[in-house]
Chain A
Amino acid sequence: MLSKKNKEALFNPLSKDNPVLVQILGICSALAVTASLEPAIVMGISVICVLAFSNVIISFLRKTIPTNIRIIVQLVVVAALVIIVQQVLIAYNYDVSKQLSVFIGLIITNCILMGRLEAFAMHNRPWPSFLDGIGNGLGYTIVLVIVAFFRELLGSGKLFGYQVVPQWCYDHGYENNGLMILAPMALITVGCIIWVHRAHNKELQED
């Protein structure tokens, strides 16, 4: 079940081969949905589901897909899964689906998906592909959650919508940082995470 190679497919994307921090993919949605934690986590779970199952499906089909139309086939599979996720969200978590609005639909264009389908699912058996999908989805989610944690904490003084910065601080002159809510700070936060990450993993440092 979990041979060494499969383990690598599952765990490497969490840190050493993280899709956001190392491959710098999926940045746009990392900016858009990380103003608070709840949508970030929902977005992360949606991407994990879509990525894992589209990896499996494409992996099953990999020998029958004609090479010159493979991108279209991949897109059809991803789009179908995205629509399912979207409908589930609208049915069970309407508020968050409102918040995420167009970004669930835009999972289709998330570079991580096409990247994994092309690079992994087209050449591997379904089970490793499934693990690879889960791993990359988790790697993406972890970064989203870290960014959202700082942005929500410093930007609105809340976590998951609950006030965590005590009123005492506001009475003594503390104020929420409005810049954290704006998109540029998401980029800078991602930049800081990459900075810390590279500082810990010397082999990733470029000259």
Chain B
Amino acid sequence: MNKIEPSFRPGGKLAKLESVYDGMETFLFTPNTTSRLGVHIHDGNDLKRTMITVVVALIPALLFGMYNIGYQHYLAIGQPASWLTMWIYGLLAMLPVIVVSYGVGLGIEFISAQIHHKEIQEGFLVTGILIPLIVPINTPLWMTAVATAFAVIFAKEIFGGTGMNIFNVALITRAFLFFAYPSRMSGDEPFVKLDSAFGMGGGTVVDGFSGATPLGQVATTVGDNLSMTNIVGEPISTMDAFIGLIPGSPGETSMIAILLGAALLLLTGIASWRIMCSVFVGGLGMAALAHALPSATYPASMLDPVTQLCLGGFAFGAVFMATDPVTGARTKVGQYIYGLLIGVFAVLIRVYNSGYPEGMMLAILLMNAFAPLIDHCVVSFNIKRRARRAADKVKEG
């Protein structure tokens, strides 16, 4: 690295790529420059370490997601397979998505950093791994690429890059796919990979196969009989949803894997426990309310609250998306309100909007837009309260 450094400094022949060099150097080594004036350390964590911790927290969900892709695949074609085969199949199926997501996203970040002569920010490290986890496995790669490019340019770079975005970039990617190519994002097809991955797996699908997610099945239920089945028609329970062997986007199915990640995020203090807990409380409350007033018009209202939270992307969104420190609320009281409303809206959309079986993405994006307003209200309320208290003291004194 040191040998090639001079060519990247001003005057060198590759001077235009200076920030690429800086980015790679600090990614691989500890920077050897320190600040000279005063002390500016809040805490030993810099952006890179924060980001890497989140990526590590995502690993359980990622590994389980890969296993589940293989599990669903071999279940659908009716062949027995060892868990290792299933996992490798899932790995091969997911690898191209991860490569595309990082390739496109980092490519745009690098180019934009060169144009603006800024340092490359590390924000895409997390986004790039979140995207493959929340996009259905059967989404064509070019769609993922287009959506990633759209999200990075219009949700992030336009607002000024990492740390300035209003909306969660990974969710914008998913929202873009959701509205642009609706047939790829819901229904029977997207969530179970049926063809072979790099020559592995593949075969005829068994009779009675249906790739609909449990929430999709619930949304299309007619009458009072609510039953959820796995892809070959066997009934599934809340426990299956908790473990995660159900069809769905790769990262979202397993509660266990997500809770492992959540534990790491909370222990290291990176994610706000206020947001995380209040999302679950809000969702649980709203689901309990809906469950107390079941109606056949809204079949999802017949789900009991705990099952409601175990299905779909609720837990994943609560742990990894809602807690995004950039797009979420910052004030303590604001975080409770913000999380609570995400939980409430997610279940509200799920249950009472028959067009969208899953509401977590829309709920988080909606509250992203309101987070600055919530913070503003909390801060100005606090200012008023303290001014009043001071005025009272003056009167008494």
Chain A residues within CB distance 8 Å of chain B = 173, 175, 177-180, 182, 188
Contact = CB atoms under 8 A, between A and B. Distances in A.
B29 interface: no
A175 B181 contact: yes
A179 B140 CA distance: 17
Contacts of A178: 179-182
A182 B179 contact: yes
Nearest to B143: A175
Interface residues of B, number: 12
19 contacts: A173-B140, A173-B142, A175-B143, A175-B181, A175-B183, A175-B184, A177-B146, A177-B180, A177-B181, A178-B179, A178-B180, A178-B181, A178-B182, A179-B176, A179-B179, A179-B180, A180-B180, A182-B179, A188-B154
Chain B CB within 10 Å, residue with most, of A178, A179, A180: A179
A173 B138 CA distance: 12
Interface string B174-196: 00100111111000000000000
Contacts of A179: 176, 179-180
A175 B146 CA distance: 12
A182 B181 CA distance: 12
Chain A CB within 10 Å, residue with most, of B180, B181, B183, B184: B180
Contacts of A175: 143, 181, 183-184
Nearest to B179: A179
A188 B180 CA distance: 14
Nearest to A174: B142
A43 B156 CA distance: 34
Interface of B: 140, 142-143, 146, 154, 176, 179-184
A182 B175 CA distance: 13
B71 to A, nearest CB: 26
User: Which 5 A-B pairs give the minimum distances between C-beta atoms?
Assistant: A179-B180, A177-B180, A179-B179, A178-B180, A173-B140
Contacts of A173: 140, 142
Given A178-B179, A178-B182, 6 more contacts: A173-B142, A175-B143, A175-B183, A177-B181, A179-B176, A179-B179
Contacts of A180: 180
A84 B344 CA distance: 51
A205 to B, nearest CB: 15
A180 B154 CA distance: 15
Nearest to B142: A173
Contacts of B140: 173
A95 B25 CA distance: 62
Nearest to B181: A175
A159 B179 CA distance: 22
A179 B181 CA distance: 8
A176 to B, nearest CB: 9
Chain B CB within 10 Å, residue with most, of A175, A180, A182: A175
Nearest to B184: A175
A178 to B, nearest CB: 5
Chain B CB within 10 Å, residue with most, of A177, A180, A182, A188: A177
Contacts of B183: 175
Contacts of B182: 178
A74 B143 CA distance: 50
A95 to B, nearest CB: 27
A198 to B, nearest CB: 13
Nearest to A188: B154
A46 to B, nearest CB: 30
A196 B174 CA distance: 27
